[in-house]
Every structure is written in C-alpha cells, then in structure tokens.
Amino acid sequence: MGQHPMWGHAPSQHPRRPRRYRRPMAHPHSARAGHPHGRPFGARPNLDFDKAPFIVIWETTQACDLACRHCRASAQPLRNPGELTTQEAIRLLDDVRKFGRVVFVFSGGDAFKRPDIIDLVRHGADIGLRMAITPATTSLASREQLQALKDAGLTRLAVSLDGSNAAIHDEFRRVEGSFAHGIRILREAQEIGLSTQVNTVVRKANLDDMDAMCQLMTELGIVFWEVFFLVPMGRAKKEDVASAEGFEAVFNQLYDLSKTASFDLKATAAPQYSRVVMQRKRAEARAGADTDLDVLTSGMHYSQQDGIGRARNVNDGDGFLFISHLGDIYPSGFLPIKAGNVRTDDIGEVYRESPLFTSLRDRTQLKGKCGVCSYRSFCGGSRARAYAMTGDYLAEEPFCAHQPRLPA
C-alpha cells in the first residue's frame, strides 16, 4: 500500500508507552461478571461492553468544504499536518481489530480529504472489520469514489440530511447545493450496490420539519436512519438545543414511524428514546396489544442486511469509542475528555481500564435524577450533553422530560 507524501515519511515517531490501570471489578448490580446493561441486541449475540466497544469512530481529518452550524470539530478546509499518517492509521485498524469484528466508521471532517482513504477502507475490510464511512455532501463524493469504496470492501455509506428540502438543509450546512449532493450520493451509492444510511441532527430550528423528514426517509431506500440529538459543543450553542419536551415529541414520532418503516432507526446522543419505547410498549401491552417488550424497534432486521447490525444501550464510552484526527482517545466525539492517544497508549487497555471509561460504564455513579431512575440501566442519559451543560459527565441528563419516583 503506497503512502501519500502528505502523510509524513515513516510510521509514527511516537513509541508506545503502555499505560497500566487497575482492572475494575464487575459492577455490583450485575447478574454476571461484565456489563450489566450492555445486553445483546442485533447481529452480535454476546456483547460485553466492558471488554470491547460495539462501534469505533475515527475522525480521519477535520478538513471539510462545508461549514455546518453544529460542527463538533469546527472543521475548516485545510488538513492538519499532525493527523495520523497512513501507517499509523493502518496500525490503528489492526489494534481495533483486536476487539473483534467491531463496526469501524471513517468520519471527519470529510474522509475524502484523505487521498489514502480507499486504501485504508480496503485494509480494514481485509482484516475483517465492518467498514462504514460518513463523507461530506460535496462533489468529492463522486460516483467513481463510491465505486472504489465498494470495490475496497465498504459495508455501508452514511449521508447527512438535516432537512426535508434544500432550503432547510443547505442553510444548516451553510453551502448551497449540499442537499442535492446528499440525494445524489444516496442514489448513486444504491445504484452500485452499497448499503445506505441517513444521519439527521435534531435541533430547535428543525423540530417543525420532523414530520416531513419522516416522510422523506420512507422514500429514500435506506436501511438505517440515525437521528442525532444536538450536543452543544464546537459551533453548536446551548440555545440551539431543543427543549426536553421537544425531544420527547420527536421520540414519539420515531416510535410511531418504527412500526411501519422499511428501515431501522436509532436515536443517538439520546438514550432517553429507549425509555420512551419501553413506556409505549408497556402501555400497548396493558391495552392488549401483542408486543415484544425486549425489542427496541420493529425494524432491526433492516440494519442486519449488510452485516452492520446494531447494539442496545450504547452510550459515551460504553460500547462506543472515538479516535480524533490526532489520535486522541475519547469516549465519544461529543465528550471531549481525553483518555489517551493511540500513538503512545494501548487502545484496548485505555477502553477497558481507564478510570474515565470504567466510570462511564458504571451507572451506579450517575447523579441527580439519572442516578435514581428506574430506567437507568437501559438509558443513563447522554453523558456528553450532561458534560456540555454542567461540566460533569456523571450529572443528570439536562434534557429529559421524565421525572422518576424518588426512593422512599
């Protein structure tokens, strides 16, 4: 595999220095050793989030030709010379593979800003990772590039659509034509046989567009709709976040859609959706409906068609791992507390044993109403949003409408 000249001239000049942590004990409320709430769901029947994440996202670069209002990375057009080199990226893929056949997502910025992206996808696919990519909706995502990704072994391509029409989406992405590119990329990807997904950011400004978005999703031929509830960081402001009541309304819209949709759907940075699903299903069961309380959505089989699948109860640092363009290790891209760096630390050891990650997986440490909520083990609130709003990643979820019963 060739190395592009922009990537430096050799593998990392940063020797690994193993970091040693005390291995945590099993959670006190677990019925077995390992994770008490990362119960199996979807295509992987034996998940234990104490041992391995379900999904790893690598921010390949922060370079991007869009200027999105919500951008976590405050992306800009030029690449950072400190990004992981090609050889460092290959080593990252090899290290992630030690977790098992996890889902690996090339994110950004715009991954197509890296000339080596096809080679990296090919290497990840060759070693058995389930590969996905989220390119920016620009002309860089050409049909030729999409075909090259498919030939390299890409499993799924995800496109961001943040409005049901160009006026809403392009205003949010701040580049005219971005919506048209998104629709084109989806169509061309499907024509060449790639599995497709849409990502949508829910914010105060597009709450009134969600009915139209639900309708649009039914027309696009996707296998998965990932609905992200805004976390105020990067360019996103606290006043951009919808209210707890606004979140609740969208959760119920998504639940209603899940009953008839020809695709799977998931709420990201909003584990409260699990609580709403359980409440709705229990109410239906009491009314005599034939419903399965243990299934989060009725569309799960759609996300299994391409082998990606899904997992239940994934949260920041809890089944989820994020690597920055500089190699820094975070619980997610929206919880900016650094736990190590892949250039100097063992990624498996950081995930399994660092105090940051182990505390995020121990929901007995949650504070406020999250700490006493009966849905704690299924939800836990967004740790990223708690940190963004309060500075404490164990604080209660600030945008949850549910009021749990307090202990007697």
Q: Is residue 322 part of a domain?
A: yes
Please check whether residue 353 is in contact with residue 310, taking contact to mean a CB–CB distance below 8 angstroms.
no
Q: Whose CA is closest to 397, among 283, 273, 292?
A: 273
**Does 371 fall in a domain?**
no
Q: Looking at the domain assignment, is residue 404 inside a domain?
A: no
CATH number at residue 141: 3.20.20.70
Is residue 89 assigned to a domain?
A: yes
Chunked mean pLDDT (size 10), the chain, 408 residues:
32 44 40 35 61 96 78 69 97 98 94 96 97 92 97 96 94 89 96 96 94 94 95 88 96 92 92 93 85 54 71 91 97 96 98 98 96 93 96 97 84
Q: In angstroms, rounded to a whole number, what is the distance separating the alpha carbons of residues 258 and 310? A: 15
Q: Given the DSSP bridges, would you call strands 320-323 and 328-330 parallel, antiparallel or unpaired?
A: antiparallel
How many domains is the chain built from? 1
- 113 Cβ neighbours under 8 A, 6+ residues apart: 60, 61, 63, 64, 79, 140
**Which residues have C-beta within 8 Å of that of residue 80, sequence separation ≥ 6?**
61, 62, 63, 325, 326
Tokens of 403: 């009021």
pLDDT value of residue 259:
87
Report pLDDT for 200: 96
Residue 62 covered by a domain? yes
- Three-class SS state of 323: strand
Looking only at the bridges linking them, the beta strands covering 130-133 and 156-160 are parallel
Is 394 a member of any domain? no
Buried b (16+ CB within 10 A) or exposed e, 130-141: bbbbbbbbbeeb
Structural domain contains residue 403 = no
Q: Is residue 369 part of a domain?
A: no
Domain that holds residue 125: 53-363
Q: Return the pLDDT at 325.
A: 96
